[in-house]
Structure 1
Amino acid sequence: MHISSENSAVKNAPVPDLSDPHYFGAGDPHPVWARMRAEDRVHRQCPMGGKPEFWAATGYADVSRVLSRHGEFTASRGNILTTLGRTDIAGGKMLAVTDPPLHKRLKEPLVPHLGRQAVAAFEPRLRELSRRLLSLSARQDTWDFAAQAAFYPIAMAGLLLGIPEASWHRLKHFTYAAVAESDPDYAGTGDSRAAVLSRAHSEIFLHFHTELTRPGRADADDLIGALLRATTPHGEPLSHEEVLLNVYSLLIGATVTTSHAASAGLLALLENPDEHTHWLESGDTASLVEEILRWSSPANHALRHTTGEIRLNDTVIGAGSPVTAWLGSANRDESVFPDPFRFRVDRSPNRHIAFGVGAHRCVGAHLARLALTVLFEEIGRNFERVELAGEPRHLHSTFIAGVKSLPVRTVLRPEGAALRSFQPLGDTTGGAL
């Protein structure tokens, strides 16, 4: 998806099909969303090809309400557009598609491992991974930042879930296929979306099924061990299916946010050189990361279903209706963010909702923030200059607002020569497809 820098709403133009992944790979939804916020904040979307109708909420207040009021909008029937028209079999079993109070029993085992203090212990490993991500620049001055960044969340998941590096390449491919099944880089020639999804899910679940059944696995001090040891309010352990689904969800969650925010953030700095200079002079990487999250909004939408008849921003929506909350639009809402189409590294306040709101707010938000902070600190420390070396390419996905290719040309600072001693993240021989 192109990250538009101008609020150029095109009046009287039809709203494109927001359920079409190819639109987000080639189009720019921001002018459309700006017009929708001005003229049709809760829009009834009627896709082509017989696909089910759904509602689209685009304003900050409406999106926040849809995501936070689980009594009015349930996640249990599916939380992304690929589940539209059918009931998600993971409902009530996987954190992302479970409403409170059941949501709490799935989340509680994860919180001690993903709180601010707990993830701070990962900083040295994240710094090593960041240097590995950037190390290709010490071997060739022109390289694809996004292709390297795609391995970053898989490596992070490895820290949390015990994924061996030999499995990174294979898991990265199938994780992307699971969230971008229509993208030509992940969909096989002639394969249907359903076939791509089926194979991706089979490969990922088989990997983790094998891991979960390994003797002594419940004793590990990681997220898999925590889920295997977790119990229900009645003292019963989580089922194998519940653990498997939530490990999958954690892997997907890491993939959605970190790598795409990193690539979109670097692209924004390259397209706004004054802001790039301002960041380097100020050294305020924490503020930069918050603006990157607002600007990129990598989790593009979330799906909910109404639990009864709902009035949303003067629009009446019937019971059981699917409603999409477009986070990328909410984070450019003019009523909340002054000059929202300007990338500002010192934006304050910055009340973005890139991680969602309410009970379903991303459980890995602290880790994602730390990972992005460390990565951009390393970018600032190691590079004298970074410039575009080709046209960026965007992911074909309704779920992820992603940059899948970002060719860059880099010039190292003297201290950047140390990157040569690190193995590039994508340089792994295990699981080649």
Structure 2
Amino acid sequence: MRLQPPGATPADLAADLTDPHLYAEGEPHLIWHHLRLTDPVSWRSTAAGQGYWSIARHADVDRVLRDPTTFTSSRGTFLNVLGKVDPAAGRQLATTDPPQHTVMRRSLQRPLSIRSAADQEAMIRQLVRAALGPALATGSTDLASTLAGLPVATLGTMMGVPEGDWPELTELSLRAVAPDEWPLPQGPKATLQRAHRALFAYFQDLAEERRHRPGTDLMSALLSMHSGGGRDTGSVVSNCYSLMVGAATWSHAPTGALVELAASGRYREWARQPELLDPLVEEAVRWTSPANHFLRHTTTETELGGRTLPAGAPVVVWLGSANRDATVFTDPYTFDPTRRSNSHLGFGSGPHNCLGAALARRMIRIVFEELFAAVDDIALAGEVRHIASNFVAGYRSAPLDLRVREVPHPTGGTP
């Protein structure tokens, strides 16, 4: 089974954890399992000749994420900027530290909640039903493709993005988080650069339109708040980009959970227990850990996990490893929707905890509700393929057969 490590060979342990193809074709959990036991804070080299401190244990990952004073985000948060300076530093929520981060986050949190929880739920349910409609009509689906557009549709609705632009933004977001999986002919590096430029250009145009014709959407609210705070449009655009790219990971949690329920034959068991929906959502996030890593840099010499890290050192925390730590999770390689004490780090931790976590949880829950209401059972219908990406731990393909009920069960909420 892909997520159960029986043991690691020397070749496994020598693999480059920054290689995107390891996550599509290899066994990163074998490496993380070994590192947690033998070398949880270790210096690792990349194929490009760079290096970083690799953090594998839950406690150490949590400490790094909770301590921005010692482990700064200001030099970039993803491996694609390792050895470089992130051009978004200081302008994007993800690449700032408190107190500036705290001020920026507060201004983003308020417009994200301008819709009531009920309005958000009704909107998301409508989008989920539209996405699942063809699958329910035919009794089969590639769930990875079916759900891939949901995050952009959800945030796009809140930002006032025209529905006709959702497919393009979905494609650009996927290329931004997984350029090796969806490369242009010029290669992954050019793909990443083009996706970044196109997304920034799109949100720049949208921001200018809203500046002249403001509405009640998220983009208009952000512009209104920033215009009185001395921040330029670039900061708004940068944060809209960050939200959209981060949301590209959300759909992989329900996909991974449903793949596991199909593979284990336990779908019907859990579909009949609506009281377990909330722990099921949390276990789905722990199990898949859709955001695979974050990058930080030490601001001063510090000790972590018994090792001394010098000032200015790059530090990579592996969320997928932390969420399999047996010192925190009982039987961590078992998908258990009844898991009640679930201290997963799937949405990060500390001041940089995922800003859209509440929205993501609601979307994941509604996917489960709608499927459980309409589908009596599911089964794998082909090979499950993972995405080649060191950032998003997700699915390129997840083919399922659905046994659709003639009369839907009332689990799935109201229209």
TM-score in terms of structure 1 length: 0.90
2:256–2:288: 8 Å Cα contact kept in structure 1? yes
2:111–2:222: 8 Å Cα contact kept in structure 1? no
Matched residue, 1:241: 234
Q: Which of residues 370, 373, 378 is equivalent to 1:381?
A: 373
Secondary structure of 2:377's aligned partner: strand
Q: How many residues align?
A: 408
Change (3 A) 1:396 1:411: same
Matched residue, 1:212: 207
1:112–1:118: 8 Å Cα contact kept in structure 2? no
| Aligned-partner Cα distance in 2 for 1:115–1:224 | 13
Change (3 A) 1:117 1:269: farther
1:303–1:322: 8 Å Cα contact kept in structure 2? yes
| Aligned-partner Cα distance in 2 for 1:417–1:343 | 25
| Aligned-partner Cα distance in 2 for 1:394–1:28 | 11
| Aligned-partner Cα distance in 1 for 2:212–2:6 | 54
Deviates more, 1:29-38 or 1:129-138: 129-138
Secondary structure of 2:69's aligned partner: coil
Matched residue, 2:413: none
What do residues 151-186 of structure 1 show as CA deviations (whole Å, max 9, x unaligned)?
Answer: 110111112211111111111111111111111xx1
Q: Does 1:267 align with 2:259?
A: yes
Matched residue, 1:24: 23
Deviates more, 1:7-16 or 1:24-33: 7-16
1:389–1:409: 8 Å Cα contact kept in structure 2? yes
- Whichever residue aligns with residue 254 of structure 1, its letter is A
| Aligned-partner Cα distance in 1 for 2:236–2:154 | 19
- Whichever residue aligns with residue 240 of structure 1, its letter is T
| Aligned-partner Cα distance in 2 for 1:215–1:16 | 47
- The ranges of structure 1 where at least 4 consecutive aligned residues each deviate by more than 4 angstroms after the TM superposition are 215-218
- Once the two structures are aligned, what percentage of the paired residues are identical? 37
Change (3 A) 1:336 1:131: same
Change (3 A) 1:19 1:396: same
| Aligned-partner Cα distance in 2 for 1:217–1:402 | 39
Secondary structure of 2:295's aligned partner: strand
What do residues 213-267 of structure 1 show as CA deviations (whole Å, max 9, x unaligned)?
Answer: 11555733232122212249xx5332111111001011112112x2111211111
Structure 1 residue ranges without an equivalent (≥5) = 419-433
Q: CA deviation at 1:112?
A: 2.2
- Whichever residue aligns with residue 369 of structure 1, its letter is R
Matched residue, 2:335: 343
Q: CA deviation at 1:119?
A: 3.6
Q: Does 1:366 align with 2:358?
A: yes
Matched residue, 1:196: 191
| Aligned-partner Cα distance in 1 for 2:376–2:226 | 52
> CA RMSD for the aligned pairs?
2.0
Q: CA deviation at 1:138?
A: 3.4
Secondary structure of 1:409's aligned partner: strand
Structure 2 residue ranges without an equivalent (≥5) = 411-415
Change (3 A) 1:120 1:61: farther
Q: Which of residues 65, 68, 84 is equivalent to 1:67?
A: 65
Matched residue, 1:391: 383
2:263–2:379: 8 Å Cα contact kept in structure 1? no
TM-score in terms of structure 2 length: 0.94
| Aligned-partner Cα distance in 2 for 1:138–1:362 | 32
2:140–2:400: 8 Å Cα contact kept in structure 1? yes
2:52–2:313: 8 Å Cα contact kept in structure 1? yes
1:283-298 alignment, distance < 5 Å: 283=274, 284-298=276-290
1:127-138 alignment, distance < 5 Å: 127-138=125-136
Matched residue, 1:318: 310
| Aligned-partner Cα distance in 1 for 2:88–2:179 | 19
Matched residue, 2:147: 149
Q: Does 1:158 align with 2:156?
A: yes
Q: Which of residues 80, 95, 99 is equivalent to 1:101?
A: 99
The one of the two structures with greater contact order (alpha-carbon pairs below 8 A, sep at least 6) is 1
| Aligned-partner Cα distance in 1 for 2:336–2:409 | 30
Q: CA deviation at 1:117?
A: 8.2
Change (3 A) 1:12 1:198: closer
- Whichever residue aligns with residue 236 of structure 2, its letter is V
| Aligned-partner Cα distance in 1 for 2:170–2:67 | 33
1:59–1:333: 8 Å Cα contact kept in structure 2? yes
